[in-house]
Structure 1
Amino acid sequence: MPTEIKLLKGLKNILENEISSNFSDKSIKYGLEKALAVALKQFPLWNGFWTQKVLDLIKDYSKRTYEERAQAVVRIKDIIERAIEFYTDENFWEKSVQFAKGVGPHRAKLLNRLEIHTIYDLITYYPRDYDDRSKLKKISEIKPGERVTIKVKIIDYEETKTLYKKIPIIKAKISDNTGWAYAVWYGQKYIKQVLPPGTELLISGEAKRLLKHIEFENPEYETLDEGEDKEFLNVGRIVPIYSLTSGLTQKVLRKIIYDALTDYSIFLEDPLPKYLREKYNLMDKPVSVWEKHFPTSFLTMASASKRITFEELFFLQLNLAKKRREIEELSAPVFNIQSELVEKFLGSLPFKLTKAQEKVWEEIKKDLSSGRPMHRLLQGDVGSGKTVIAALATILAYDNGYQTAFMVPTEILAEQHYNRLKNIFEPLGIKIALLTSSTPKKEKTYIYLDLAEGKLPVVIGTHALIQEEVTFKKLGLVIIDEQHRFGVIQRAKLWKKGEAPHLLVMTATPIPRSLALVLYGELDISIIDELPPGRKPVITYLFSKKERRKVYSFVEKEIEKGKQAFVVCPLIEESEKLEAESAKKLYEELKKFFPRFNIGLIHGLVPREERTRIMEEFQKGEIQILVATTVIEVGVDIPNASIMVIENADRFGLAQLHQLRGRVGRGSEQSYCFLIADLKGENAKERLKVMVETNDGFVIANKDLEIRGPGEFFGTKQHGTLDVLFVDLTKDMKLFEIARNEAFEVIKNQNERIEEYEKVLLNKWLNKYLRGELKEIVL
């Protein structure tokens, strides 16, 4: 943008000349206001709103006082210098937060803890709540226990110390025209210098009764001696409340964000096309960001939230719409769906497919024979029979001469799928192999060779499948189980190992429709909403920690009847080592409690061979109780195991508890799940009661989403996508559907209503939202 930069540098020279001429308004012909107005016409408004800010600041310049002119010119010069940076630096918004006003290296480290790394992170670090301090009260109107804001004058001070630690207590007598009260600060001797007697100020805090008088402890305050038009950040307004970290205070963070908004928000481009803003009455982006942080009213704050939510949803859906269009334009292997091998397999099953399974299989067959790549999400509750559907698709691929890659997130699940599918495929003459990081090197070499030469039709594995060494001769079907455990890039890496192969994504974690559309909007969705006949619902009980002995007494009686039990140890986030130690401790405890029973232990650090042996012994009934971590969350199928005990159940999400409970109830016997939890926590009992009341995974999933939000729905943060979401999908569903429809409409109709500059902005901000992981859309 050489023209814009040249103009900006020229404007900077004009402003410097005006400063040199002592703000005479004679440094340029026709005056400074006219010169700036003419020059700024060269900059389109969509480049940011800084041009309008400059025009506002320079208005009526010739009529102003010397001080007003000086103030305006210095501020405009700052804006022009930042505009030069805006036009020359492609990474303007990625600049380190360290360089924001009032930050520096030390505070930057504190902000980094809050995931604030850049200037853009800072201005979009939105409040978690608000405190309405806009309504002033008189001292005479205050009731103890109220949070109030009052306008007072400091009368005088008393200074004492606490009895034991001798911490200074600064006690200010404050007054308005209706009465007097006290403001008390602990350990803040400087208050007397900052707020000398006679200072007028606004104070906010909780009013407490002290004998006959009202007292405020460590209240927030702002002085009035700088003029009534001062911008208050902490009192006298609707005040933002942010999530903090040790070393940062609300007051400091508010000032940092306020200064950053002042310096940078005018350079925010609006990536939403104008017709959408007008159609849905959406605020301009800079206004919405300001109003989200420092709202003028709760009404404007709600409008700002609507705008921010719409934008985030729109761009997420725009990416999915673009991906869907790209998929629809590809050619894929056309499968002949008339298969004797499929019929042979169906005939060998000891049961009939449920109606829901039949419906889903018909949908998949239609995809596989369409000539376009299947991109389908298969959802189903625990034990609904998704594996049978995956087996059918794999057999059909084999019968059409294509290979299948089946990727799962954990070695235990890979081994479980491998053992089950091996029993299905070998009688049909279909060769299958298991590939994980634990697969011996020599065996891996043979698998790589057989896949490349097309001699191996089916491979099941973990992330090992996406390594560069893995190549396929004719990959026609990719199946990914427990998709939420994989990132977008991992899924794409496996898919790209074939030439537009068919893709079947499966999840045993039921996902609410709203979240499924956000995460997998480019996929068609199939749901198995029916369990096989004869399954008895698992009976679930909730017990406090004090009642553990009752639970284990029941377990003992059931094992004496020949049953088996899982005991899942407390969840320890982000530490497989600590989780393993926790499981070992519980294992030792239960060995003492059940000396007559054989108890096994399994966790993520147990070597593969030992893990396989333990699972085989449990499967054969040689182990009666299996102590485990969440490695057994999915895929483990032991029909004789009829008891699930989950320790510290309050540490798990509902969806994860439902998965764990799904490890039992797979036979014809009545099964039980015991949740042992700390029920003192906020809403813990209410939340866990959902597990007692229903076995419906979709009901549980909706509740889990409502309670924990999308980012933590799966028990772990998503790779990218949901970290940026400011959205509450349980409340914003209508807005989501509008944003989704508009995004798909943009792609479908080739953007007839979108100006060329708006297409540039759409591409630029789409990549920003997706953190640069995905290539730009072709508009």
Structure 2
Amino acid sequence: MKGRPELLFPLFAGLETLEGVGPKTAGLLGQLGIETPRDLLFSLPYAVVDRRRRDTIKGADLPTTLTVQVTVGAHQPPRNRGGAYRILVSDAAADFQLVFFHARAEYLNRVLPQGADRVVSGKLELFDGMAQMVHPDHMLPVADAAEIPEFEPVYRLTQGVTQKTMFKAVQSALARLPDLAEWIDPQQLEREAWPAWSRAMRAAHAPKGLDDLGQTAPMRARLAYDELMAHQLTLALARRRERRARGIISVGTGDLQRRVLQTLPYRPTGAQSRAIEEIAADMAAPDRMNRLLQGDVGSGKTLVAFLALLVAVEAGGQGVMMAPTEILARQHLHGLRPLAEQAGVVLEILTGRDKGAERKAKLAALAQGRIQVLVGTHAVFQPDVAFHDLRLAIVDEQHRFGVRQRMELAEKGGGADVLVMTATPIPRSLALAQYGDMDVSVLDEKPPGRLPVKTAVVSTERIEEVIDHLRRAIDEGRQCYWVCPLVEESESVDLTAAQDRFQRLRAALGDGVVGLVHGQMPPAEKDAAMAAFETGNTKVLVATTVIEVGVNVPNASIMVIERAEIFGLAQLHQLRGRVGRGSAASTCLLMYQPPLSEGGRRRLEVLRETEDGFVIAETDLSMRGAGDVIGTAQSGLPRFQIADLERQAGLMAVAQSDARALLAVDPDLTSDRGRAARVLLWLMRQDRAIRLISVG
């Protein structure tokens, strides 16, 4: 794969090679992210104007764009400066006016001489009972009227670029379309009745009506599929390379797992048992595991993770579990310690806080294999951290961890299996886009005994009632989280909001009852505040969203979220999942500041109606769009120009299985279809994939 195939050169030339595009226009198009003819072709029209010729404007439903042949009548120059220049015209059955502002009389007399026949096309509207067309888009002699397209595509523009310029440039780019060999599976093409690539591209730029602009239009669906296919091929190549990096075979005996399961007060759910089987099978295989464990709030991921770590220990190795923050790492330690004691396994924690002799001793024990399971933050990445025999690395909360860190972590174990856990239910299409290189296990059942959380929506105007309700709950021995909003991006403002709320609640509920935790606190103070709440010394914990993930206080049964309308759906769902972990019935109060926007109201209603994280995630996706749901900037989500992740999830799934199937039979992409797929990767600028093939 030396470089870009020559066939594609014309599509990757400079924009100035196109008709009507000079240096200035090329610069303006650059602002739209259009740098080559290829980019122009992938910027499909978003609307279409019907310019088919009519005999008369009579009976037309105004305002509308129409094209008609007229005879030019009298010119009426403006009476005063800045007025309108009017020209009367008549078609076969009606009269109307053409109107021009800042017009030059000499120009109009030349283009529209009185008595001549012309074809005009533009937007016709009624003004004071008179039909008029202001600045027609086209005014041509009848002989040249064929230049007006019957259907004119409408493109997104930037200041200084007109539809005409865009149309001309696109036509010029279409003229150099190469005929490319087919990379789509022949049966798939036939089943969907999709056109070949160049035909699809031409048709997409020549829509004949609204139906041709929809995602289901055959040419559009095909071009969307090409983007998804290139993306999934890239992920599949990365996955193949990952798996080919020799994994370690870890076969568990089941002894330690049995010990833990026997002491549990309940039996694992079907979903938990299934996930464990999938993970154990991956660990026993020679390929390196790269699996995503996706579980909703409270679906029991911790148990699955720990049983997986025990497989590594049973096989004579070590396991590590990493969390994005120290609070979460300590939470994991808390959750795992009783299980580790049942299994008789040595468990330790390593964070940035470990210093000096203590750190040295831990590192020595780790390198000698005396620590069997390590919990930690990214401090685990530091060069002086060496394992005796690392078999499994578990990463918690994936979206704060890029693909690069996943690889670094796996390097520590020279082929250790990798399991990524996320508590954010991700809609299927996004999971495929973001984690298409991974295999997925889903925990979609709640363990027995988890009570549903009652969710209510109240206005901030009723805050006094809410505080009274709290007072009664505290008297009954219950505990409460009170989450303050992130008002601005600035932490100082959030801080004052949280501190004000803390003082007001302390004044209302009494000293020593209310604790405070926020992002600016020194770690030791944060831990102290959390510990006081966990042991029940404080009854109310006022917090910014520090507590969003992983915090576990079974006695806390009330969650108040202030300004809930400004939080995202997924975040609200995560926060609500912090209660309902004990035996008491739990409540979540979503407080909003009226008036509510339409979107805000819909979000709060969805939460009131369902506790199913996957339903919530799908709603979130349809309301906000893919980039927002996981924050495109740090998510590594690809930006597609034609494909739509929200509405074409089905196509994404087909593309994934197709890409994997192609590589299974043609791993080096050397068959005819394989070579066509290489061209697709170049066309879609998937340089990463191309590097993977050339080194692979």
Superimposed CA distance per residue, residues 394-431 of structure 1 (whole angstroms, 9 cap, x where no aligned partner): 13323333222323334443343244334543673413
Instruction: State whether structure 2 residue 471 is matched by structure 1 residue 554.
Output: no
On the 8 A contact 2:237/2:692 being kept in 1, the answer is: no
Deviations 1:208-234 (Å, cap 9, x if unpaired)?
x53322466x777244369324366xx
622, 625, 641: which one aligns with 2:556:
641
Does residue 740 (structure 1) correspond to residue 656 (structure 2)? The answer is yes
CA distance change for structure 1 residues 184 and 445 in 2, over 3 Å: closer, same or farther? farther
The answer on 1:711 being equivalent to 2:631 is no
CA distance in structure 2 between the partners assigned to 1:650 and 1:189 by the alignment: 49
Correspondence for 2:693: 777
Contact 1:403 1:454 in 2 (8 A): yes
* Deviation (angstroms), 1:390: 0.7
Residue equivalent to 2:292: 377
Assess if the C-alpha contact under 8 Å between 1:566 and 1:626 holds in 2: yes
TM-score by length of 1: 0.73
CA 1:760–1:429 in structure 2 vs 1: closer, same or farther (change >3 Å)?
Answer: same
Q: Which runs of 5+ in 1 are unaligned?
A: 3-45, 50-82, 87-91, 162-167
Of 269, 273, 278, the match for 1:354:
269
> Equivalent of 1:158, from 78, 88, 113?
78
Contact 1:691 1:700 in 2 (8 A): yes
Find the counterpart in structure 1 of residue 570 from structure 2: 655
Per-residue deviation at 1:147? Answer: 3.9
Q: What does 1:152-551 align with in structure 2 at a 5 Å threshold?
A: 155-158=75-78, 170=84, 172=86, 175-177=89-91, 178-180=93-95, 189=102, 199=112, 202=120, 204-205=122-123, 207=125, 209-214=126-131, 221-224=137-140, 227-230=144-147, 237-242=151-156, 248=159, 252=162, 255-256=165-166, 258-259=168-169, 262-263=172-173, 266=176, 270=180, 272-273=182-183, 276=186, 279=190, 280-298=192-210, 301=213, 302-326=217-241, 331-422=246-337, 424-425=339-340, 428-436=344-352, 451-452=366-367, 454-466=369-381, 470-543=385-458, 547-550=459-462
**2:59 equivalent in structure 1:** 141
Once the two structures are superposed, residues 119-177 of structure 1 have per-residue CA deviations (whole angstroms, 9 ceiling, x without a partner) of 544442345x3144345664433445x4433447695453768xxxxxx5646456442
Aligned length: 669
SS in structure 2 at match of 1:496: helix
Q: Distance in 2 between matches of 1:772 and 1:580?
A: 42
Cα deviations across residues 639-661 of structure 1 (Å, max 9, x unaligned)?
Answer: 23333334444444433322222
Question: How far apart in 1 are the matches of 2:438 and 2:427?
Answer: 15
Can you list the C-alpha shifts for 1:534-583, whole angstroms capped at 9, x where unaligned? 2221222345xxx212256224412432144434444579x4xx255235
Q: Is the 8 A contact 1:583 1:627 kept in 2?
A: no
Map 1:593-672 onto structure 2 (within 5 A). Answer: 595-597=507-509, 599-672=514-587
Using a 3 Å threshold, how does the CA distance of structure 1 residues 613 and 230 change in structure 2: closer, same or farther?
farther
1:16-55 pair list within 5 angstroms = 47-48=6-7
Q: 1:286 to 1:486 in 2, by over 3 A?
A: farther
| Residues 75-121 of structure 1, C-alpha deviations (whole Å, 9 max, x = no match) | xxxxxxxx6xx5xxxxx83x787997777887777656655566544
Using the TM superposition, give the Cα deviation of residue 386 of structure 1 relative to its aligned residue in structure 2, in angstroms: 0.3
Q: Which runs of 5+ in 2 are unaligned?
A: 113-117
Alpha-carbon separation, structure 2, partners of 1:278 and 1:268: 19
Displacement after TM superposition at 1:725 (Å): 6.4
- Call closer, same or farther: CA 1:111–1:229 in 2, change over 3 Å: same
Structure-1 separation of matches of 2:236 and 2:565: 38
Residues 156 and 197 in structure 1, CA contact (< 8 A), matched pair in contact too: no
Amino acid at match of 1:541: A
Q: Is the 1:47–1:267 contact (alpha carbons within 8 Å) kept by the matching residues of 2?
A: no
The AA in structure 2 aligned to 1:266 is: R
- Deviation (angstroms), 1:206: 7.6
Structure 1 pair 191–325 and aligned structure 2 pair: CA distance change class (3 A): farther
- Cα distance change of structure 1 residues 729 and 670 upon mapping to structure 2, 3 Å threshold: same
Change (3 A) 1:114 1:181: same
Tell me what 1:55 maps to: none
TM-score by length of 2: 0.81
Q: Measure the CA separation in 2 of the matches of 1:503 and 1:560.
A: 47
Note if contact 2:460-2:593 (Cα within 8 Å) is conserved in structure 1: no
> 2: distance between equivalents of 1:730 and 1:422?
41
Equivalent-residue separation in structure 1 for 2:251 and 2:296 (angstroms): 30
C-alpha separation in 1, matches of 2:468 and 2:16: 60
Using the alignment, how far apart are the partners of 2:106 and 2:387 within structure 1? 76
1:266 match: secondary structure:
coil
Q: Over residues 348-372 of structure 1, what are the superposed CA-to-partner deviations in whole Å (9 max), with x where a residue is unaligned?
A: 4344323332332233233333444
* Higher relative contact order (Cα pairs below 8 Å, separated by 6+ residues): 2
SS of residue matched to 1:416: helix
**Match for 1:746: what amino acid?**
L
What is the Cα deviation at residue 485 of structure 1? Answer: 3.3
Change (3 A) 1:239 1:267: closer
* Percent of pairs with identical residues: 32
- 2:455–2:588: 8 Å Cα contact kept in structure 1? yes
1:102-113 residue pairs with structure 2 within 5 A?
none
- Are the counterparts in 1 of residues 566 and 600 from structure 2 also a CA contact under 8 Å? no
Aligned-residue offset at 1:310: 1.3
CA distance in 2, matches of 1:109, 1:572: 38
Q: CA deviation at 1:260?
A: 5.5
Kindly provide the amino acid, as one letter, of the partner of residue 141 in structure 1: G
Instruction: Judge conservation of contact 1:402–1:475 (CA < 8 Å) in 2.
Output: yes
Q: Tell which deviates more after alignment, 100-109 or 282-291.
A: 100-109
Q: Distance in 1 between matches of 2:574 and 2:396?
A: 14
Q: Residues 248 and 366 (structure 1 numbering): CA distance in 2 closer, same or farther, change over 3 Å?
A: same
Cα gap change, 1:634 to 1:222, in 2 (>3 Å): farther
Q: Distance in 2 between matches of 1:608 and 1:738?
A: 47
Distance 1:220 1:472 in 2: 75
2:506 is the alignment partner of 1:588: no
Distance 1:157 1:583 in 2: 66
Distance in 1 between residues matched to 2:530 and 2:308, nearest whole Å: 28
Higher mean displacement: 108-117 or 420-429: 108-117
Q: Which secondary structure does the structure 1 equivalent of 2:508 belong to?
A: coil
Report the alpha carbon displacement of residue 768 of structure 1 after superposing the two structures with TM: 6.6
Q: Give the conservation status (yes or no) of the 8 Å contact 2:396–2:422.
A: yes
The one-letter amino acid paired with 1:189 is H
Counterpart of 1:53 in structure 2 is none
SS of equivalent to 1:553: helix
